[in-house]
Structure 1
Amino acid sequence: MTIETLLLFAGALLVLFVTPGPGIAAMIARTLDTGPWHAALYGSGILLGDMFWFTLAVTGLSTVAQQLGPFWLVAKIVGASYLAWMAFKAFWSAWTGARPKPVFKAGSKRGWIATFFAGVAMPLSNPKPIVFYLTLVPAFIPIEAITPVSYVLMLLIMVVMAVPTAGFYIAAAHRARTWLSTPAVRRGADILTGLVMTGIALLLLFR
């Protein structure tokens, strides 16, 4: 594995991670709803899901992945259900003008675990990373040349590229929370968030 290949991989990942998609939209909504730490945990789940698809591509199991229809269906239902619940909370907030009660108590282990696994479900049912890792990566990276050492290096590159890009979106959304706290702006933001989350949930289910 050459340095040029690793740089090519890093550049491709940068495009994948920076381009707005369902994962970024969900992280932003999560930041506005429960704060940056939950959003960061959600993002770490997304990264783990990305690593899953990358590992399938590296180990040559992409053909097997095409047969995982029931698994994909479960992932789609889990991810879409979580996003649908977030959409419902946002619409409820816009309708009543009050923040709805959280599903889990603040700081509870169940709340953190649910957030993490909802993040994992996002790339498992999102066509964007599936196409990227199982189709595009093998097309421009010699999979047979990936050794255990280069595989670990590529995983580290994924972390290095994902953390600052996700951090940028989360930090920007967090800075906007004060402005969004005013009633009129908050109501409009809740409606917009609910519409975005509903759209993403439908996208995951029907694509």
Structure 2
Amino acid sequence: MSATLFSFLFAITILTLTPGFDTALVLRTAIAQGWQRAWATALGVTLGCLLWGIAVGLGLGALLMASEIAYNLLKWIGAGWLLYLGIKLLLKPRQQSVETAEQPAQPQGYLACFSRGLMGNLLNPKIGVFYVTFLPQFIPAGASVALWCTLMALTHMLLGLFWNAVLIGGSHYFAGYLRKPTVLKGMDRLTGCVFIGFAAKLALSRR
């Protein structure tokens, strides 16, 4: 049991530390909109992992493995969402951060930041497929699948929150430079390209 749990913790830690869409989203939000909105985004991202774990535990994740139509539908919706975010950043990059702007035109609310992180995770079917193939390996024989999947996803969520705390805290030290209008504008466009790249990668992916 202890060896199994250690293996799970090691694997899920590597997964958490691997840069991806969620890392880019949280960092960009921290620098452009401040640490509070970044935390709202991080909470949405990590809650998405927990919801995927619960879904897999209840057997819903297996649908993505069994149904090509269900997988492709969610895949294209997710790719479209990432593409929308990327194009929006390319066409309308921020000129100044929320914290330094004297009169922000449309300050983004915490709910919007939370929803963006949550939807970016929930609309990625690869996470569901990963969970449905990854988590069962660490469930003891005869144990409750729903309970263990939920607990493992909760562990993933807590690790994600800890790692996001490191990212958000670290961004504080170089945020002053990165909040310069020209740097912020270029960073938004670079992040937009990253999001479009993730959209293409998801659209071209297979189970």
| Unpaired runs of at least 5, structure 1 | none
Aligned AA for 2:107? K
| 8 Å Cα contact 2:48-2:122 kept in structure 1 | yes
Matched, 1:197 2:195: yes
User: Percent of counterpart pairs with the same letter?
Assistant: 25
| 8 Å Cα contact 2:17-2:163 kept in structure 1 | yes
Matched, 1:88 2:91: yes
Aligned AA for 2:84? S
1:105 to 95, 104, 107: 107
Deviations 1:130-176 (A, max 9, x none): 342122222x2237644365455434422331111111122222322
| 8 Å Cα contact 2:74-2:125 kept in structure 1 | no
Distance 2:189 2:79 in 1: 23
Deviations 1:103-143 (A, max 9, x none): 7435xxxx2222222211222333652342122222x2237
2:79 corresponds to? 76
Q: SS of the counterpart of 1:176?
A: helix
Change beyond 3 A, Cα 1:199–1:144: same
Deviations 1:77-122 (A, max 9, x none): 33432343233332x649xxxx7x867435xxxx222222221122
Change beyond 3 A, Cα 1:171–1:112: same
Change beyond 3 A, Cα 1:183–1:70: closer
Aligned AA for 1:154? M
| 8 Å Cα contact 1:42-1:119 kept in structure 2 | yes
| 8 Å Cα contact 2:49-2:157 kept in structure 1 | no
Deviations 1:1-26 (A, max 9, x none): x3433332222211111001111111
2:152 corresponds to? 154
Aligned AA for 2:54? T
1:117 corresponds to? 115
Matched, 1:142 2:139: yes
Distance 2:21 2:154 in 1: 23
Aligned AA for 1:21? G
State the aligned residue count. Answer: 196
| 8 Å Cα contact 1:125-1:204 kept in structure 2 | no
Structure 1 runs (4+) deviating above 6 angstroms are none
| Unpaired runs of at least 5, structure 2 | none
Distance 1:128 1:174 in 2: 32
TM-score (structure 2 length as normaliser): 0.74
Aligned AA for 1:54? G
